[in-house]
Amino acid sequence: MGKILRINLSSRKVQEESLKEDFLKVFVGSIGIGGKILYDEVPPWAGAFDSANRLIFSTGPVTGSITQTAGRHTVLTKSPLTGCFGDASAGGFWGAELKFAGYDAIVFSGRAEKPVWIWINDNHVEIKDASPYWGKDARECDRALVKDLGDKRVQVCCIGQAGENWVRYSAVMHDDAGRAAARCGVGAVMGFMNLKAIAVRGSKKVPVKDEEELSKLMREIMLHYKNSDFVRRFHRGGTPSSYATVMLIGDSPTYNFAGEEFGEFDESRIKKLAWPGGYELILEKTNTCYVCTIACRRVSKQGEGKYKLIEGSVEGVEYENMSMLGSNCGIDDIYAVNLMNDLCNRYGLDTISTGSVMAFAMECYERGIIDKKDTDGLDLRFGNADAAIELIHKIARREGFGNLLAEGTRRASRIIGKGAEKYAMQVKGLEIPAHDPRAFQGGGPHYACCPEGADHMEGLSLGIEAFGLTFKELGIQGSYNRFDTYGKAELAKKMEDWWNFVNSMGWCLFSAFRYGDVTRFVMAYNSVTGLNIDLKEALKIGERLYNLKRAFNYKHSVRREEDTLPERLLKEPNKRAENSVVKLEITLPQYYKIRGWDENTGAPTKEKLVELGLEEIAKDLFK
Amino acid sequence: MGKILRINLSSRKVQEESLKEDFLKVFVGSIGIGGKILYDEVPPWAGAFDSANRLIFSTGPVTGSITQTAGRHTVLTKSPLTGCFGDASAGGFWGAELKFAGYDAIVFSGRAEKPVWIWINDNHVEIKDASPYWGKDARECDRALVKDLGDKRVQVCCIGQAGENWVRYSAVMHDDAGRAAARCGVGAVMGFMNLKAIAVRGSKKVPVKDEEELSKLMREIMLHYKNSDFVRRFHRGGTPSSYATVMLIGDSPTYNFAGEEFGEFDESRIKKLAWPGGYELILEKTNTCYVCTIACRRVSKQGEGKYKLIEGSVEGVEYENMSMLGSNCGIDDIYAVNLMNDLCNRYGLDTISTGSVMAFAMECYERGIIDKKDTDGLDLRFGNADAAIELIHKIARREGFGNLLAEGTRRASRIIGKGAEKYAMQVKGLEIPAHDPRAFQGGGPHYACCPEGADHMEGLSLGIEAFGLTFKELGIQGSYNRFDTYGKAELAKKMEDWWNFVNSMGWCLFSAFRYGDVTRFVMAYNSVTGLNIDLKEALKIGERLYNLKRAFNYKHSVRREEDTLPERLLKEPNKRAENSVVKLEITLPQYYKIRGWDENTGAPTKEKLVELGLEEIAKDLFK
């Protein structure tokens, strides 16, 4: 759309700003626009909870077009969990609606005196009093705003009580609190800014340079979808369809990544959660995001008994929730996991971090590092779903022990002390998601060096290493041994570069291996923008964005010593993954070399930045 | 006392910790103990408003002894204004009482779920519910706690509403809200931690190795005081007694350091505020801190008319308040300044930063950068005392435009934009106090490079440069030309090293040039500790502490580019100071060389750190 919106919550000033084409060609898409603004405008002396921080809602060039799965947007900020470059992306319909209103991004600065929400109706932008909505959960808030605005087409993103209370891993929720920009604590910054919600309605059309070409391409892709067994199964089972498979290869963590020491998760227990399996008990129907015929979203039934939801027909459990809130906490009751997931969505909590911080607390409890005096009487043994549910309430409300865990795994472990740090499964402060890098060596350097911390949305090589997925066009076709380090540093880099391109453009990563041929993404990008880049250039864009984030981190005093993993992953064999550990001592130096990063500082070298067209950043970073 | 108290507000755990003698010999005094803990325990990824930050109340070895002026303590934290090493020290009686209770320091970590206060009665330590005190101003809170505890000897430090609202330049108030640890926003961190107050009562005696020797020395010093015209005048006039003198040489700022462009501050206007002069209208009597016969504290009358205080007989106006809230805002009404000062004390606001941020806003208003729409209708012309008083209320309560200014001058100027940054009179985010370095060149490198930002409590060379004060024992005896740069870098360093020793030991800086002979400090230190150091070693301790702070800053990504001054001081001549500007381009490189700091990064070199006995820090910083 060529325009962004700047909203200063301290001075209540709203301004439109045009983006120049030259700028957009270098800083492409949601991460490009948002990342450059973050780099330029957030000084190292600013904390995350700071009027000098920024909260950016950003879209890509394809977001809101008719391109398949192009419904995504990204929320960027200096993260209150990591102090690093933070971003989180989400599907749903909100990003597309922002484009329809005429904006590529919104940049928030300052901090409102009292809770506010923003109403964007095309170019009518208003800062409004949020007192009627403050204190509501994300779903209640979303519905109340849609109702009060009297237009069902309004798209809302908002925080729940967790964000209001600055729980450091709060999410920004969208689409009836069904979709979440969850990671890096973006919702906590929204809460700090006293910003409850952004409601958007637009009537514009997203410009596409060659509509005919794009339509033709989309017909091809939809035909591919129709004929693909993989896509058909994914439509039927959603992300839960992968659960049993990855559990069996030791990729999905159990018991805070400690595994068998605390219990077996055998096939019968896996079956209680998996699809096909126990998951079918809670599955009502499927759902979709903006322009997506894969339609991997699930809708959950209300159910019955003690784990009954507040109301039914709400967003279903995803793979990450099932694993992090379920088996990683030793819980195998699908009804309980369904409720836990729904509570996280309502409160606006990142389910990955929430599951991790609870599993961490459970391990501390099992090991006697903490006891009932610390947990307000909760019997925090692994597998105690009732205690876990109570704990989610306490975290979101910052009550008692929940106030401590609301700080995230890294901070909580330091507060508890007594060696608890060892059981904090996090990298740079971001909790590790439900993919154990002991099960695929490419995950090691990726998690260790990812600017956001351990983030599986930035370039996961699991499918390639464990399931023989190939990307011929990217030069990824060999058969990899997932326990071998050979070629893994390079593989991690390639996936990161590629996924950063895909993410930043506004596509869903699930489409990233389901368009059939990755060059189709580049063709779609060209059709939308009228440019004529090739795959090599697309990868270079991805690499540029990744290095932009790394440059931000270096500027904000993140050093090489933070490029590591919890000791457990480096030393304790994963029994379900052939007793493997992450061989980071081998892959990390290789990765640094391939990335062109300084081995001593961890910063991108001046040469690398210049090569990627980031001369200005290089000048700033090494002045 | 050899013991510190650790209070984790998240887990509500209280622990005693012993300090080893080896440790105390290297990390001497309040800045040594607090600084080392801050360096070791606050990671660069932690913001100021962060459960991973620390808030440390720390004393020196002489605090609470019979040594003259030894009533001071220091509050340390990662500063919410600067993101740098932050500290503020205060007089009164609280620091001595903490020693009597048996502790050298208290280290707070984490964040309480709900407002709490701490009750320390010798080794009985309790975390208590602060809801009855939350919302009270600092004086009300102090008095209510003393009353509720039923013991008039209880000493209280607490925050007012400004700290509760995280105004970034909130102070920690002591002694009936009469004394303030004001700078660097230490009170905002206390507010963030939900910590309203610390009440202390102790019955122990501070150990002194050679009481006889110390008593003898004190008799000498008191005789010196008795015979010193300087001390006698200082007792009679307090800090306001210097106001007229330093105004006339252009040291005291007017109109946000812009001076004559906005109005003359001639002798008749100076006289309206000064002592002798207008000040006498509000002066009720004098007062003192713990064991101090100088007794420079003032008590103010309630007065009459529209600038009447809430109640009389409260802490009087100091030089810094008179200048920063008065002439720097173009205000020459002593009753108004008296009320502004009292409001700041009650709300718990740093008067220096408050005066600066208001003067900044006034200049923006005068220049048309902001108007009444921005200021909630306030007519913010220079000199409008009514508007300034209203603004103090708004800042402390974070109402409207006050919410913006509550962020401090640096952040406020960035939020306002439109070139406002130029008028933000701050260094590293800390507002410049009422000593204009254009009036004495030694102030240039000092303000520019001081780890805390522009802090006149870290080594001010004004007296030496402008008034011929000498410290023969420190090798400072030449007659300096205050407008010349010759020898000023070295002078700044010497004063910083010396003052850091004096500050850290627990002495008041006013005694630092009033003991008559500086070796007396070293003798007193030796008598108290039983050690036998000489002046050279004392200076080395000061240098070590200063470099420890600098090392913290480097670790937290503060770089050489921040070692500068606002353009105004470098380019706009100060008419009242013979049209001088700060010649930083000359003194800064000299200063770096003398300090042994890296010219490119601004960090202390490895060699310098090792030379100062900070091998461990060197290893950590350059790993």
| B25 vs B504: CA distance, rounded Å | 13
The values of phi and psi at residue A138, to 5°, are -65, -35
The predicted-structure confidence for B58-93, as pLDDT tens digits, reads as follows 999 999 999 999 999 999 999 999 999 999 999 999
Lowest-confidence region among A223-232, A315-324, B135-144? A223-232
pLDDT at residue B550 is higher than 90: yes
B-chain CB neighbours of A111 within 8 Å are 403, 407
Rg of chain A taking only CA atoms, in angstroms: 22
Crossing angle of helices A334-347 and A385-397, rounded to 10°: 0
DSSP string for B114-133: S-EEEEEETTEEEEEE-TTT
Cα–Cα dist A322/A252, whole Å: 10
Cis? peptide before A240, omega within 30° of 0: no
State how far the Cα of B173 lies from the Cα of B160, in Å rounded to an integer: 8
* Chain B CB within 8 Å of residue A80 CB: yes
Predicted confidence (pLDDT) at residue A288 exceeds the cutoff of 80:
yes
Measured in Å, how far apart are chain B's first and last C-alpha atoms? 35
Bond before A276 cis per omega within 30 degrees: yes
Where do the DSSP E strands lie in B437-493? none
* Nearest chain A alpha carbon to B165: A113
Q: Flag whether pLDDT at A511 surpasses 90.
A: no
Cα separation, A493 vs A418, whole angstroms: 37
Q: Which band of pLDDT confidence, cut at 50, 70 and 90, is reported for residue B477?
A: confident
| Percent residues over pLDDT 90 in chain A | 95
Tokens representing residue B235 in the block? 């007792």
Q: What is the pLDDT of residues B409-457, one digit of tens each?
A: 999 999 999 999 999 999 999 999 999 999 999 999 999 999 999 999 9
Distance of CA A185 to the CA centre of its chain: 10
Contacts A395 to B, Cβ<8 Å: none
User: In terms of Cα–Cα distance, which of A58, A79, A62 is closest to A71?
Assistant: A62
Residue B623's pLDDT band, with cuts at 50, 70 and 90, is confident
**pLDDT average, residue stretch B177-196:** 98
Tell me whether residues A404 and B110 touch, CB distance under 8 A: yes
Band the pLDDT of B513: cuts 50, 70, 90: low
Mean pLDDT, chain A, integer? 96
Phi and psi torsions of A621, nearest 5°? -75, -35
Q: Cβ contacts of residue A93 below 8 Å, gap of 6+?
A: A71, A155, A174, A175, A289, A290
User: Residue A273 contacts by C-beta under 8 Å, 6 or more apart in sequence?
Assistant: A240, A243, A279, A322, A326, A327, A332, A334, A337
Q: Out of A11, A51, A429, whose CB is closest to B374?
A: A11
Percent of chain A whose predicted confidence (pLDDT) is above 70: 100
For residue B11, the chain A residues in CB contact (below 8 A) are 374, 404, 415-416
ipTM higher than 0.85? yes
Question: Alpha-carbon distance A441 to B420, whole Å?
Answer: 52
Alpha carbon separation from B233 to A84, B226, B294, B295 (Å, rounded): 54, 11, 10, 11
Query: Which residue from B45, B113, B403 is facing A403, i.e. has the nearest CB?
Result: B113
Residues of chain A neighbouring B407 (CB-CB closer than 8 A): 10, 51-52, 111
| A363 within 8 A of A419, measured Cβ to Cβ | no
Does residue A275 carry a pLDDT above 70? Answer: yes
Structure confidence by residue, pLDDT tens digits, A560-606: 999 999 999 999 999 999 999 999 999 999 999 999 999 988 999 99
Question: How far is it, in rounded angstroms, from Cα A104 to Cα A96?
Answer: 9
Q: What is the CA radius of gyration of chain B?
A: 22
Q: Is residue A304 scored above 90 in pLDDT?
A: no
At B517 the pLDDT is 86
> Contact B504/B539 with Cβ under 8 angstroms?
no
Cβ-proximal residues to B471 (8 Å cutoff; 6+ apart), any chain? B464, B477, B498, B513, B518
pLDDT for position B304: 83
Which residue has tokens 């590529």?
A: A104
Other residues' Cβ atoms within 10 Å of the Cβ of residue B274: 23
CA atoms of B587 and B177, how far apart (whole Å):
39
Pick from B409, B293, B388, B295: nearest CA to B338 = B388
Which pLDDT value is given to residue A211? 97
Give ∠ CA B248-B252-B258 in degrees, rounded to 5. Answer: 105
User: A407–B47: do the CB atoms touch at under 8 Å?
Assistant: no
C-beta atoms surrounding A576 within 10 Å? 22
Q: Provide the pLDDT for residue A512.
A: 66
A44 touches chain B (CB under 8 A): yes
**Total residue count of chain B as it appears in this document:** 623
Backbone φ and ψ for A123, nearest 5 degrees, come out as -90, 10
Reported as a pLDDT band with limits 50, 70 and 90, residue A516 is confident
Residue B293 identity: T
CA distance A3 to A14: 13
Polymer length of chain A: 623
Cβ-based contacts of A10 with chain B (< 8 Å): 403-404, 407, 415
Please tell me which residue of chain A has the smallest CA distance to B555.
A557
Is the pLDDT at A166 greater than 90? The verdict is: yes
CA-based diameter of chain A, in Å?
67
Confirm or reject contact between A113 and chain B (CB < 8 A): yes
Query: A434-463 burial string, b = 16+ CB within 10 Å, else e?
Result: bbbbbbbbbbbbbbbbbbbbbbbbbbbbbb
Partners of B399 on chain A (C-beta within 8 Å) are 113
A46 shares contact with chain B (CB less than 8 Å): yes
pLDDT of residue B478: 75
Euclidean distance between CA atoms A417 and B142, whole angstroms:
34
**B350 to A51, B160, B167: CA distances (angstroms):** 20, 11, 10
Residue type, position A138, single letter: A
- Residue to substitute from A40, A41, A45, interface B, most B β-carbons within 10 A: A45
Q: How far apart are CA A386 and CA A400, in angstroms?
A: 17
Q: Within a 10 A sphere around the Cβ of A123, how many other Cβ atoms?
A: 13
- Quote the mean pLDDT of chain B: 96
pLDDT at B296: 95
Say if residue A398 is exposed, middle or buried (CB neighbours under 10 Å; 0-12, 13-18, 19+): buried
Q: How confident is the model at residue B5 (pLDDT cuts 50, 70, 90)?
A: very high
Instruction: Give the separation between CA A484 and CA B36, rounded to whole angstroms.
Output: 44
Q: What does the block give as tokens for A134?
A: 């403050």
Q: How confident is the model at residue A513 (pLDDT cuts 50, 70, 90)?
A: low
Contact between chains at A411 and B52 (C-beta distance less than 8 A): yes
Mean pLDDT value of segment A236-241: 96
In whole angstroms, give the CA distance from residue B109 to residue B57: 12
| pTM attached to this predicted model | 0.97
| pLDDT tens, position by position, B133-159 | 999 999 999 999 999 999 999 999 999
Span B317-357, pLDDT tens digits:
999 999 999 999 999 999 999 999 999 999 999 999 999 99
pLDDT of B33 reads 98
Residues 6+ apart with CB under 8 A from A383: A263, A329, A330, A331, A332
How many angstroms separate the CA atoms of A465 and A445, rounded? 14
CB pairs under 8 A between A and B: 98
Chain B CB within 8 Å of residue A393 CB: no
In the structure, what pLDDT confidence band is assigned to residue B300 with cuts at 50, 70 and 90?
very high
